[in-house]
Amino acid sequence: MSTPVDLPSLFFHFLTLSLLSIGGAITTVPEMHRYLVDKTGWLTDTMFTSSIALAQAAPGPNILFVAVLGFNVAGLQGAAAAMAGIMLPSTVLTVTATRWARNRRESPLLRAFSAGMMPLTLGLVIATGWLLAAPFVRDEAHRWGAVTLVALTVLLTLKTRLGLVWMVLAGGVVGALGWV
């Protein structure tokens, strides 16, 4: 880490990201990367990518990667600050919105809002995938293996009903065996 960690700044940054995490916290990974790696220098690119990979490989909720990032920035206090920041606003907003929408399911306005959020969520997920794949695509030794895995995953997703879990597992095996 090149600069001292400011826990309130970490908390408030993740608090802000919580309100942008449409489709889940994973959609805000590009902004997390910009803040933790590029702006503050609290993590290296490799530490950032490894933190997300480790958390995604572990069983449990998808959001655990935020705790791993926070832990790698500032230990248990960093994990608590990042998790509290990312969870607090979205949890309150979700509970409130769910209670409000329950009685208005058939509203044309609510249906239009839901339909409009789909492309936004898809775009954020694609940006996250690109950010996580970019270091491997840039690396000459891994470039064609990474591009092949991404293309194969997209093809299998579009043409089959194979679960994503199996594709992630296969990618992990391929990587562990050093084939990429």
* Cα–Cα distance for residue pair 136/151, rounded to 1 Å: 14
The sign of the dihedral angle between the CA atoms of 3, 8, 12, 15 is: positive
Give residue 55's pLDDT: 87
In the predicted structure, residue 110 carries a pLDDT above the cut 60 = yes
Check: CB of residue 63 under 8 Å from CB of residue 87.
yes
Which residue has tokens 């794949």?
133
Using one digit for the tens of pLDDT, what is the confidence trace for 111-163?
898 888 889 888 888 888 888 888 888 888 888 888 888 888 889 988 999 88
Candidates 21, 5, 6; CA nearest to 87 is 21
Q: Helix H segments across 103-161?
A: 108-138, 143-159
117: tokens are: 């959020």
Domains of the chain by residue range: 7-106
What pLDDT score does 180 carry? Answer: 63
Taking every pair of C-alpha atoms in the chain, what is the biggest distance, in angstroms? 55
pLDDT digit string (tens) for 40-69?
A: 999 999 999 999 988 888 888 889 999 999
